[in-house]
Amino acid sequence: MPPFRRAVVLAYPGLAQGLDEAESIVRILEAYGVEGRAGTFADKALLRAVQKGGFDLLIALGGDGTMLRAGHLAAPLGIPILGINMGRFGFLIEVERDAWPTALERLMAGDFWIEQRLTLDARLYRGQTTLGSWLVVNEVVICRGAEVRPVRLTAYVDDILLTTYVADGLIVATPTGSTAYALAAGGPILPPESRNILLVPVAPHLSVDRAMVLDEEASITILPHVDHQTVLSADGQTPLTLQDGDRVVVRASPHPVKFIRFQGRDYFYRVLTRFLQAHPWTQKYS
């Protein structure tokens, strides 16, 4: 008896042969007795079918950006995600492109574990109106827009004033996001299953320049003081322009993102080492 009954296999839309690969995976799944459907993340009808329920496994083909899309779709539904790397380096992805037949064999045999990672709930308020809400896998960024000038952002933690940042931006990140933009901005690397929220300023100007690690129960409210363009973006999605008086509220989401893993629980540090060694600055001095 396979551990899953119905699987959806979604490829990154711009991926050459992505749909063909997805259909090949579905054929293998069906040989194991699992009902499957193949498509891309541009297939709106299929995405609606996933959102209505009925699938208990999502297989995503692409790179780390594709895994973010998969997380946005699957986390609210509690569906685990198996990532297959079709890009260059997949920090979040478990299986390389030529290894998926073996991975499916292990999956169907129940030889895997599920890693649960914290996600964030981010909401933008203007007065009493909610302008947007996002489930966030990596980070929420509030930063300057087209003008090369710092922004002023007042941050509260649990309704207690923390500070006013004068910086290029402010990142609120998950442990998953600690190896993304937050890392580039000088933040710490957190273990993937830790239950903490990161607050990291970007290029602070004569203001608090240290990252903060907050408890998962923390509620962060950010008030932008807007005298030039200031924008908000969640997981790299299309930015929204903020106005003076807007409020951005970020807290832990009740919906973790679930990744299927075959490697041991120490996999993260081995992947991290490989990731760091791939960068030119480590190669230069090694």
Task: Tell me the catalytic residues.
Answer: 64
Return d(Cα 249, Cα 232) in angstroms, integer.
12
User: In the chain, at which residue ranges do the beta strands (DSSP E only) sit?
Assistant: 6-11, 35-40, 57-62, 81-85, 95-96, 113-117, 120-126, 129-136, 139-144, 151-157, 160-167, 169-173, 196-202, 212-215, 219-225, 230-234, 240-241, 247-252, 257-261
β-strands 212-215, 196-202 pairing? antiparallel
Nearest to 100, CA basis, from 195, 22, 162: 22
Backbone angles phi, psi at 184, to 5 degrees: -65, -30
Give residues with Cβ within 8 angstroms of 284, minimum separation 6.
none
Return d(Cα 1, Cα 269) in angstroms, integer.
33
* Joined tokens for residue 35: 């009902």
CA atoms within 13 A on the CB side of 218: 22
For 52, the 3-state DSSP assignment is coil
For 284, the 3-state DSSP assignment is helix
